[in-house]
Structure 1
Amino acid sequence: MTISTVFKSGEFIPKEYTCEGADLNPELVIQNIPEGARTLAIICDDPDAPVGTFVHWVLWNFPVTSSTVTISKGLQKVENLPDGTKQGYNDFGRVGYNGPCPPRGHGIHHYHFKAYAVNSVLELKGKVTKKDLEKALSGKIVTQTEIVGLYERK
């Protein structure tokens, strides 16, 4: 499984997808999704944050309709999307995606966009966090992949 998006792994994330821009989630194209995958889950986090790993996005139950699917740029920041996709709470305390926003002068941060092909629809309720999603994914991941984007605020 591979992810292509507006930046390649190891490249800088365009400002549009950060707190200094429109703060929209980037479009993600997930390719080579294996048979047996019913949904996708996405976690985006930053292990370089001064407080420890900081979560920017928690998404699950994105429907897999073929071996390649596209998660559109700028999804609504709501818990329930019309296609059945769900979004949880990031470490800003908000639903949906909030992009890179490292402290000024803190150097380059690495943002891990992790995609999981899941063999089922996950039943999660309440104020879902990364920890809740990771627990629900246990034993249900068909395969996974990730890309790492970079960002620095000067």
Structure 2
Amino acid sequence: MKELVLVSPAFEKEGLIPLEYTGHGADISPELQLSGIDESARSIAITMDDLDHPRPNYNHWVIWNIPVMQVIPSNIPHGETVEKLSGAVQGRGYGKHRYKGPKPPFNWSHRYQFNVFVLDSTLDIPSKSGKKELLKAMEGHTLQRAELTGYYKRSSRA
């Protein structure tokens, strides 16, 4: 099976996530680009977690049933259903049905990891579902997985 490769034009692997993609900026999701998607793929799911939060892997974003595409556009609209992505579902990450960007307290630096899952099906789980329910629903359906980690530290100007 081919390796799934995940990159973003917004930031490099292990690089600084720009202000506009954070809770101190416009708080919009960054564009994500995929290559090497398996031919039998039927949908894509994404999670984004704060790796340095006191609660391990604190979830900021969960979305599934994204149509198979090489470019996940930036600025995914808020809401449970994303018509822009053929009805993809945003579950409850950070308590919201939306992308909620990095926003560590004080001037701390935190790492944030985007996880992309290529699935052999779409998922039929309620929109109130969170990361735990998504991961359980994906069991046995994940064809490929890739991750991209960046960091964010609030500057004194933000």
Q: Tell me the TM-score normalized by structure 2.
A: 0.90
Give the % identical residues. Answer: 38
* 2:67 is the alignment partner of 1:63: yes
Q: What residue number does 2:145 align with?
A: 144
Q: What residue number does 2:46 align with?
A: 42
Structure 1 ranges of 4+ moved more than 3 A: none
* 2:60 is the alignment partner of 1:85: no
- The runs of 5 or more residues in structure 1 that have no matched partner are none
State how far apart, in whole Å, the 2-side matches of 1:76 and 1:49 are. Answer: 25
State how far apart, in whole Å, the 1-side matches of 2:63 and 2:93 are. Answer: 10
- The runs of 5 or more residues in structure 2 that have no matched partner are none
State how far apart, in whole Å, the 2-side matches of 1:12 and 1:110 are. Answer: 9
Amino acid at match of 2:50: D
Give 1:123 deviation, angstroms: 0.4
SS state of the match for residue 100, structure 1? coil
Give 1:153 deviation, angstroms: 2.2
- Cα contact 2:80–2:127 (8 A) shared by 1: no
Question: What is the CA deviation profile of residues 45-81 of structure 1, one whole-angstrom value per residue up to 9, with x for unaligned ones?
Answer: 01201233211110111111xxx52111111111111
Computed over aligned residues only, the root mean square deviation of the Cα atoms, in angstroms, reads: 1.2
Give 1:84 deviation, angstroms: 2.1
